[in-house]
Amino acid sequence: MNKLKPNFFSAPILSNQKIGKNYFCLKVKTPQNIDQVEPGQFAMLRGKWNYDPLLPRPLSIARAEKFQLDFIYEVRGRGTHLLSLMQPPREIEILAPLGNSFPPPENSLPLLLAGGIGFPPLYFYQQKYGGKLLAGFQTNPELDLFSDKIIATDDGSLGFKGNVLQLLESCTEINNYSTIMACGPRIMLKQLKNRCSPLQCNLFLSLEEKMACGTGLCHGCAVKSRQNDYFKICTDGPIFKSSDVNLEE
Amino acid sequence: MALKLNTSLAGQTLKNPLMTASGTSGHSTLLSNYFPLEKLGAFVTKGVSSNAKIGNKPPRICETPSGLINCIGLENPGIKFFIDNYLPQFPSETLPLIVNFFGNSVDTYIKAAASLGQIEEIFALELNISCPNVQKGGILFGSDPIAAGDLVEKCIKATQGKPVFVKLSPAFSNFLETANQVMQAGAAGLTCFNTYPATDIDIQSKSFKLSLGKGGLSGPAILPLSLLKLHEIHTHFPEVELIASGGVNTAEDIIKYILAGANAVQLGTSILINPTSPIVLLDSLKNLCLKMGINNLMNLKGKVKG
């Protein structure tokens, strides 16, 4: 259970450095102790610029300790580009922590599968609880965080040539895991859900969608439920049991 | 002299002119996680209808320069669920509650108005006329001043005396005639305005960015458009009570709308960007009034020159 209520605050930037090809690590100081933040939770971040880009950006939390939050993000559009330019002593507006989290391990450690920029919450999980992490990228991410052995790249520029699910089949036995956790592109999550459906494992998916508020107010980030109505990814998730959501819409 | 921020609507005094805009603060008191809701002049709920609506499929939102387009699809749990589960959460004795409602036919509007009209805890209703009439081939109620006036008259009758503010669509050039018709039908005032029909296209996938292909534009981008239209309504109907809605993000924006003729001002997209924005703006409004030598904010109503 997450005890920490979401808080809107202005956070001094401690550092914001490039750590790979198009990947940055942003570290900020928080006004309250955030040790209780769990892997899978996220924050809404916005630089103190004017109205364009207008909306804060949802980013997964990559590490939370005492009075410091770390985010690892990929520069994709104007919002993340402007974010990458912000350096100390500037401050950034943050609403955090938001959403639910991956469940802590019970009897055995989970398999953690990441696609692209889906890796930060799983990296956080592995650092906090352990588990076997496999990560797929389109091309060499030039990150200094992982062993080559757990990396798959579509173009073969690093580690296994292929996607993360192909890497999984090649290096481990999926039946050995009673719990699998994943975060990545929707197509990867759909394939994983199909792969796991005949198995007896618990599959937890971290979902993404365009978000305006992150607080459940706007109903913007919808995903179809098994009952055919909609969950709000920001407050009902972002972590869902795969059987609870319909990813085909 | 103490600064007076209070305003009045439908004979009720509001402690300040700030209220939430429908669709941006939910159906419940979720926003109270971020500030005491009693700080608001009033709270306007997300729209409710007689029957629950699950809303549109995603993607439901896209960002544009200084704006946000949404096609949420009026997702709501239905009036009964709202009354049973969410309404009791509101501190209705200290916070005037305005419930936004809609239908898809004259009959469903009347049914909604009748259900909500009998609830004592509700101060007023806000009627969304920007919906398609399924009994008339999907034509929007707000596009036809006569149909809008007729709808409002029937809804008011069904509410048994509850004040009804009509939220106008900015999409039609006949909005002044619609304003005239709905006021003649007995509306307590007008909310000016709903979002603007808009779209955006992803050039890589060559597809619309929203599942419906279009949605409603909100945010700072629309403020100058709604400011002009609100002032035109105020000029034609100076006695009508107006609630401004559209693009407010600063204390300056609030004062602009009041100068243009507004009695109250709604905050929408700014709450999505920062859920504490109502109290941030309230503080900022007080400071601006002191700086400008304003003792009574409502003395500025409609006082724009020229």
Write out pLDDT tens, residues B69-118.
Answer: 999 999 999 999 999 999 999 999 999 999 999 999 999 999 999 999 99
Q: Please tell me the distance in Å from B280's CA to the nearest CA on chain A.
A: 12
Q: Are B155 and B165 in contact (CB under 8 A)?
A: no
Position A2 pLDDT exceeds 80? no
Position B304 pLDDT exceeds 90? yes
pLDDT of residue A32: 94
pLDDT of residue B133: 79
Which residues lie closer than 8 Å to B157 by C-beta, 6 or more apart? none
Q: Which of B54, B56, B63 sits opposite A55 (nearest CB)?
A: B63
Position B138 pLDDT exceeds 90? no
Position A1 pLDDT exceeds 60? no
Spell out which residues of chain A touch residue B60, defining contact as CB-CB under 8 Å.
Answer: 210, 219-222
Q: Which of B62, B71, B131, B289 is catalytic?
A: B131
Q: Phi/psi of residue A68, each to 5°?
A: -135, 135
Q: Please tell me the distance in Å from A3's CA to the nearest CA on chain B.
A: 13
Structure-block tokens of residue B182: 């709905």
pLDDT of residue B134: 79
Task: Give catalytic status of residue B62 as yes or no.
Answer: no
Burial class (CB in 10 A: 0-12, 13-18, 19+), A22: middle
What does the angle CA A223 – CA A225 – CA A229 come to, to the nearest 5 degrees? 90
Q: Please tell me the distance in Å from B207's CA to the nearest CA on chain A.
A: 16
**For the ranges A3-12, A235-244, B287-296, which has the lowest average pLDDT?**
A3-12
| Range B7-300 classified under CATH 3.20.20.70 | yes
pLDDT of residue A214: 97
Position A208 pLDDT exceeds 50? yes
Q: Phi/psi of residue B242, each to 5°?
A: -120, 135
Percent of chain A with pLDDT over 70: 99
The residue among B262, B255, B214 whose CA lies nearest residue B235 is B262
Average pLDDT over every residue of A156-182: 93
Average pLDDT over every residue of A218-228: 95
Which residues lie closer than 8 Å to B174 by C-beta, 6 or more apart? B143, B145
Average pLDDT over every residue of A78-88: 96
3-state DSSP call for residue A233?
A: helix
CA distances, B301 to each of A243, B4, B112, B196, B305 (Å) = 56, 13, 33, 25, 11
- Which domains are present in chain A? 7-98 (2.40.30.10), 111-244 (3.40.50.80)
Count of C-beta atoms within a 10 Å radius of residue A74: 19
Spell out which residues of chain A touch residue B274, defining contact as CB-CB under 8 Å.
Answer: 8, 46, 93, 95
Q: Which of B58, B66, B221 sits opposite A222 (nearest CB)?
A: B58
pLDDT of residue A194: 95
pLDDT of residue A186: 96
CA distance B175 to B158: 24
Average pLDDT over every residue of B243-264: 98
Q: Are A134 and A166 in contact (CB under 8 A)?
A: no
Average pLDDT over every residue of A188-206: 94
Interface pTM (ipTM) of the complex? 0.94
